[in-house]
């Protein structure tokens, strides 16, 4: 039986004619900026953020103009350094590293714990910056901050056995990460790296998150954490942040094109590395009947507009089950809510409950819309196109970065939507008739981070799951990056270098016995933990 359509959250919608939405009180960008100036005046000027290197905040670099994906209004942009300044910052970080690596573990733990207390104190401001800078709904912005804090606390409590018999690297860890999870991925990694005895360098993502990262770094620097935070183009700074001899490890999160260039550089230099790259995560449906369970999870898969490395944009469906699949899928996808993350009926109302807001920028929204149109022109069948609900936006606001959910059947092989991750709210469906076709379609991108197979028969799952080229494969449930002691990595082109998660994250940024082989995906070997 197909699931019934879930009831929309209409708690803030009045009876009768709808009231035009207004911005929730105290959440304007100007409100957030004034709070940043008050909390961390050393890191923020009236009109810009600063770079952090050699233990001080510096007004160097050329600030780029930036706009919020929420409504295209102006916000602070990254102050871009040139290559010479970046090299100087890296050399200064090595000096910090040489001092920090000898700081006793109890003191490192105390300083990181104090940083977490400060992040907790300013949790709501960090989340509000994420809303404006990268368009996260309030619920997801808070979750990003909380996962960073809670995840690092787990390491603070358990770091002792993880570093026993190990030592920090010979140089600082260089972090280059995408914009979508500034706190739970980037800040989390930085603080664990520092806890393990390393100075850390981070490049602010060009597309968003600079103010959030600046505030978090300011709070860490106050506690004596050896943090360097710089902005600039990847092409100009890569020589310093990837190839510089001072760098002890490169940690990268991003797309395959940029990741391939980084992978080539670190392989040539024999440099320690952690390179998390995209893959087309797939959800297979084979001999399956629990449609109520599937229908319930569909809206959750649209969290943050599928702008996450563990999103599921591809369903591979047994042809004879396609009618039952659609009966579960279509009512569920119609419940997905897209709107302005801070638009409410009354200024004191609670934050709106949304599945996602804008994509990271208008250019990405146009690129994705154009890819959908091109795929349809070449033969893909549009099964669903969401329509905007004007009640979820401010009157007259710019909505150029918003894309409603779209579902396409059988994208043509010539389309990027056939073989690559769209990083947006576009689902594609491929129909198959045999198990061999199922596996081929689920492995279309030469490796993925996660996958799921929904089947009623446990023996079928046990037989097929090992043949799916994903690091984690769930049975009927989505898999995530995981927190704390859960390992994370990828197969094929989705990952290069050391795996992370739990003790492996610490092992990746520390040195053990001579000849130690880290679990991971390296040019010369692939080793599971």
Q: Calculate the alpha carbon distances from 376 to 44, 477, 484 in Å.
A: 47, 30, 42
Q: Are 137 and 354 in contact (CB under 8 A)?
A: yes
Which residues, at least 6 apart from 429, have a Cβ–Cβ distance to it below 8 Å?
Answer: 314, 315, 316, 317, 325, 383, 407, 408, 409, 410
**271 and 298, same domain (yes or no):** no
300 and 194 share one domain: no
Distance of CA 286 to CAs 4, 365, 419, 447, Å?
22, 33, 21, 20
Cβ contact 330:364 at 8 Å = no
What is the DSSP secondary structure assignment for residue 267, as one 8-state letter? H
Q: Are both 40 and 121 inside the same structural domain?
A: yes
Q: What is the pLDDT of residues 409-449, one digit of tens each?
A: 999 999 999 988 999 999 999 999 999 999 999 999 989 99
Q: Which residue has the tokens 């130690």?
A: 516
Q: Look up residue 321 and give its DSSP letter.
A: G
**Does residue 467 belong to any structural domain of this protein?**
yes
| Least trusted range by pLDDT, from 108-112, 166-170, 295-299, 445-449 | 445-449
pLDDT at 12 over 60: no
CA 525 to CA 326: how far, in whole Å?
42
As a whole number of angstroms, the distance between CA 419 and CA 421 comes to 7
- pLDDT for 1 equals 38
- Check whether residue 239 and residue 345 sit in a common domain: no
β-partners of residue 470 are: 448
Query: How many residues are there in the chain?
Result: 529
Whole-number Å distance between alpha carbons of 404 and 358 = 9
d(CA 498, CA 324): 41
The pLDDT value given to residue 15: 44
Domain shared by 298 and 263, yes or no:
no
Please indicate, yes or no, whether residues 384 and 503 belong to a single structural domain of this protein.
Answer: no
Q: What is the mean pLDDT of residues 47-53?
A: 96
pLDDT in tens, 60-74: 999 999 999 999 999
Element (H, E) at 505: helix 503-508
Note every long-range contact of 98-101, with CB atoms under 8 Å and residues 24 or more positions apart, other chains counting.
99/226, 100/168, 100/194, 100/197, 100/198, 100/199, 100/226, 101/167, 101/168, 101/197, 101/198, 101/199
CA distance 304 to 354: 9
CB 185 within 8 A of CB 258: no
Residues 436, 439: Cα–Cα separation, whole Å: 5
| Residue 244 and residue 115 share a domain | yes
Q: Residue 493 has what pLDDT?
A: 87
Q: Are 374 and 408 in contact (CB under 8 A)?
A: no
In a domain, 9, yes or no: no
Token representation of residue 72: 């295209």
In tens, the pLDDT along 429-440 reads 999 999 999 999
pLDDT tens for 325-371 read 999 999 999 999 999 999 999 999 999 999 999 999 999 999 999 99
117 within some domain = yes
Residue 448 φ/ψ, nearest 5 degrees: -150, 170
Domain span holding position 37? 29-278+494-527
**Does 239 map to a domain?**
yes
In the prediction, which pLDDT does 99 show? Answer: 98
Query: pLDDT at residue 6 above 50?
Result: no
- The answer as to whether 115 is a domain residue is yes
Q: What CATH number is given to the structural domain containing 342?
A: 3.40.309.10
pLDDT tens column, 376-421: 999 999 999 999 999 999 999 999 999 999 999 999 999 999 988 9
> 101: which 2 tokens?
């690596």
Q: What does 84-120 look like in DSSP terms, one character per residue?
A: HHHHHHHHHHHHHHHHHTTS-HHHHHHHHHHHHHHHH
Using alpha carbons, select from 382, 492, 487, 406 the residue that is nearest to residue 445.
492
Planar angle of CA 477, 478, 479, nearest 5 degrees:
120
Q: What is the CATH number of the domain that holds 87?
A: 3.40.605.10
Measured CA to CA, the distance from residue 294 to residue 224 in angstroms comes to 48
User: What's the confidence (pLDDT) of residue 17?
Assistant: 52
**Residue 13 pLDDT > 60, yes or no?**
no
98 and 235 in a single domain? The answer is: yes
Supply the mean pLDDT for the chain: 93
Closest CA to 191 of 506, 463, 518: 506
Band of the pLDDT at 515, cuts 50, 70, 90?
A: confident
Sign of CA dihedral 385, 390, 393, 394: positive
Any domain includes 10: no
466 in any annotated domain: yes
Judged against a pLDDT cut of 50, whether residue 201 lies above it is answered with yes
Q: Collapsing DSSP states into helix, strand and coil, what is residue 266?
A: helix
Contact assessment for residue 156 and residue 116, using Cβ atoms and an 8 Å cutoff? yes
Cα-based distances in Å from 453 to 229, 277, 309, 431, 445: 41, 22, 18, 14, 17
Provide the 3-class DSSP secondary structure of residue 184: helix
How many separate domains does the chain show? 2
Please check whether residue 83 lies inside any domain of the structure.
yes
**Do 127 and 247 belong to one domain?**
yes
Run of H or E including 202: strand 200-203
pLDDT at 488 over 80: yes
| First-last CA distance in the chain | 42
One domain for residues 269 and 307: no
pLDDT at 82: 94
Do residues 477 and 450 both lie within one domain?
A: yes
Quote the pLDDT of residue 235.
Answer: 85
Written as six digits, the tokens of 288 are 């399956």
User: DSSP string of 367-428?
Assistant: HHHHHHHHHHHTT-EEEEE----GGGS-TT---TT----EEEES--TTSHHHHS---SSEEE
Give how far Cα 149 sits from Cα of 155, 359, 421, Å: 10, 25, 29
Is residue 361 located within the same domain as residue 387?
yes
């Amino acid at each position: 039986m197909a699931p019934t359509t879930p009831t929309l959250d209409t708690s803030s919608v009045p009876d009768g004619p709808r009231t035009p939405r207004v911005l929730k009180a105290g959440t304007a960008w100007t409100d957030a900026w004034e709070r940043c100036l008050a909390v961390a005046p050393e890191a923020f000027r009236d009109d810009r953020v600063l770079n952090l290197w050699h233990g001080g905040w510096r007004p160097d670099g050329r600030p780029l103009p930036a706009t919020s994906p929420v409504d295209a209004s102006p916000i602070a942009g990254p102050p871009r350094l040139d290559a010479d300044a970046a090299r100087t910052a890296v050399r200064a970080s090595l000096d910090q590293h040489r001092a920090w690596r000898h700081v006793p573990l109890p003191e490192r733990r105390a300083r990181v714990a104090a940083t977490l207390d400060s992040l907790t104190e300013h949790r709501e401001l960090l989340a509000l910056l994420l809303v404006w800078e990268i368009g996260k709904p309030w619920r997801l912005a808070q979750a990003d901050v909380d996962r960073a804090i809670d995840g690092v606390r787990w390491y603070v409590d358990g770091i002792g056995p993880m570093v026993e018999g190990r030592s920090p690297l010979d140089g600082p860890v260089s972090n280059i990460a995408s914009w979508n999870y500034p706190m739970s991925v980037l800040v989390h990694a930085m603080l664990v790296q520092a806890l393990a005895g390393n100075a850390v360098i981070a490049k602010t993502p060009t597309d968003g998150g600079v103010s959030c990262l600046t505030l978090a770094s300011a709070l860490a620097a106050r506690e004596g954490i050896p943090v360097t935070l710089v902005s600039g183009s990847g092409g100009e700074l890569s020589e310093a942040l990837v190839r510089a001899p001072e760098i002890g490890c490169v940690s990268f999160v991003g797309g395959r094109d940029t990741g391939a260039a980084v992978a080539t550089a670190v392989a040539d230099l024999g440099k320690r590395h952690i390179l998390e790259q995209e893959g087309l995560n797939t959800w297979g449906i084979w001999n399956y009947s629990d449609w109520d369970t599937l229908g319930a999870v569909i809206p959750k898969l649209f969290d943050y507009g599928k702008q996450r490395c563990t999103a599921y944009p591809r369903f591979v469906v047994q042809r004879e089950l396609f009618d039952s699949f659609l009966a579960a899928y279509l009512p569920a996808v119609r419940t997905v809510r897209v709107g302005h993350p801070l638009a409410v009926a009354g200024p004191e109302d609670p934050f709106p409950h949304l599945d996602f807001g804008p994509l990271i920028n208008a250019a990405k929204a146009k690129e994705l819309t154009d890819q959908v149109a091109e795929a349809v022109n070449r033969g893909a069948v549009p099964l669903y196109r969401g329509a905007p609900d004007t009640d979820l936006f401010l009157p007259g606001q710019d909505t150029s970065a918003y894309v409603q959910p779209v579902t396409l059947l059988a994208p043509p092989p010539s389309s990027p939507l056939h073989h690559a991750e769209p990083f947006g709210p576009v689902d594609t469906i491929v129909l198959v008739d045999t198990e061999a076709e199922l596996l081929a379609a689920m492995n279309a991108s030469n490796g993925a981070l996660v996958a799921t197979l929904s089947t009623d028969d446990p023996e079928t799952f046990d037989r097929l799951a090992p043949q799916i080229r994903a690091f984690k494969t769930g049975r009927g449930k989505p898999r995530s990056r995981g927190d704390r002691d859960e390992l994370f990595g990828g197969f094929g082109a989705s990952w290069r270098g050391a795996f992370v998660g739990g003790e492996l994250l610490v092992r990746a940024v520390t040195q053990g016995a001579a000849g130690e082989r880290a679990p991971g995906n390296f040019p010369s070997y692939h080793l599971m933990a």
